């Protein structure tokens, strides 16, 4: 699958404010940034911050990209997976409860979460929580996070 660019233009402050609100805890990625653009593309559009794809729009909902997570210190809504899960996560698999070693207590169902590895704390994927952070750690079966973007996918490899 390749990404086909349609058009690119700067966003108005009002639209940036709306996107920041939708991103919740990740809204700081757009904090005081001068060059914020929308790149309309197929199949997903991007929000560019200083030319870098920081936000991706999936099903009309904004998600931070892993490049944004690597470039900025993100401390909230993290789910930590064990080393055995990394191979599956890097292939785009959803996150299962047995592979989770830690999750922030404030994670609620439907939140955007950052999946990191337990050894280095490096971002591996971005997803949507299907259960609370407490349930992720307690459960010993079932799906916990639906993966939306992961290391090595088309979004990760996207360059302008």
* 3-state SS class at 139: coil
pLDDT reading at 160 higher than 80 = no
- Quick one: pLDDT at residue 104? 93
Residues 6+ apart with CB under 8 A from 9: 37, 38
Q: Both tokens of residue 46?
A: 């991007």
- Quick one: pLDDT at residue 2? 66
Q: Are residues 97 and 118 in the same domain?
A: yes
The mean pLDDT of 122-135, rounded to a whole number, is 94
* N-to-C CA span, the chain: 16
- Quick one: pLDDT at residue 149? 93
Q: Name the percent of the chain lying above pLDDT 70.
A: 98
For the whole model, what pTM was predicted? 0.86
What pLDDT, in 10s, does the model give residues 31-42?
777 789 999 988
Q: Are residues 125 and 92 in the same domain?
A: yes
What pLDDT, in 10s, does the model give residues 31-76?
777 789 999 988 889 999 888 889 999 888 898 999 888 888 877 7
pLDDT reading at 29 higher than 90 = no
Q: Are residues 113 and 133 in the same domain?
A: yes
- Quick one: pLDDT at residue 130? 97
Q: Are residues 83 and 151 in the same domain?
A: yes
Q: Name the percent of the chain lying above pLDDT 90.
A: 51
- 59 Rama class: left (phi>0) / alpha (psi -120 to 50) / beta: left
In b/e form, how buried is each residue of 103-121, taking b as 16+ CB within 10 angstroms?
A: bbeebeeebbbbbbbbeee
Question: Length of the chain in residues, anyone?
Answer: 160
Q: Are residues 90 and 148 in the same domain?
A: yes
Q: Are residues 23 and 48 in the same domain?
A: yes
- Last residue of one domain, picked from the residues 15, 46, 70: 70
What gap in Å lies between CA 85 and CA 70, rounded to an integer?
20
Q: Both tokens of residue 6?
A: 């349609």
| DSSP tag of 44 | -
- 12 Rama class: left (phi>0) / alpha (psi -120 to 50) / beta: beta
What pLDDT, in 10s, does the model give residues 75-86?
778 999 999 999
- CB-CB contact of 92 with 153 (8 Å): yes
Q: Are residues 88 and 109 in the same domain?
A: yes
- Last residue of one domain, picked from the residues 36, 70, 104: 70
Question: What is the domain range of residue 65?
Answer: 4-70
Helices (H) and strands (E) in the chain, counts: 5, 11
């Amino acid at each position: 699958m390749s990404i086909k660019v349609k058009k690119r233009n700067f966003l108005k402050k009002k639209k940036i404010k709306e996107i920041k609100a939708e991103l919740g805890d990740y809204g700081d990625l757009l904090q005081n940034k001068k060059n914020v653009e929308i790149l309309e593309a197929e199949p997903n559009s991007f929000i560019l911050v200083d030319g870098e794809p920081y936000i991706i729009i999936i099903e009309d909902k904004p998600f931070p990209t892993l490049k944004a997570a690597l470039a900025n210190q993100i401390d909230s809504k993290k789910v930590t997976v064990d080393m055995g899960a990394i191979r599956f996560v890097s292939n785009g698999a959803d996150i299962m409860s047995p592979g989770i070693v830690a999750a922030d207590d404030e994670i609620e169902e439907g939140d955007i979460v950052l999946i990191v590895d337990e050894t280095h704390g490096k971002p591996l994927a971005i997803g949507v929580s299907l259960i609370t952070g407490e349930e992720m750690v307690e459960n010993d079966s079932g799906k916990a996070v639906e993966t939306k973007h992961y290391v090595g996918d088309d979004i990760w490899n996207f360059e302008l």
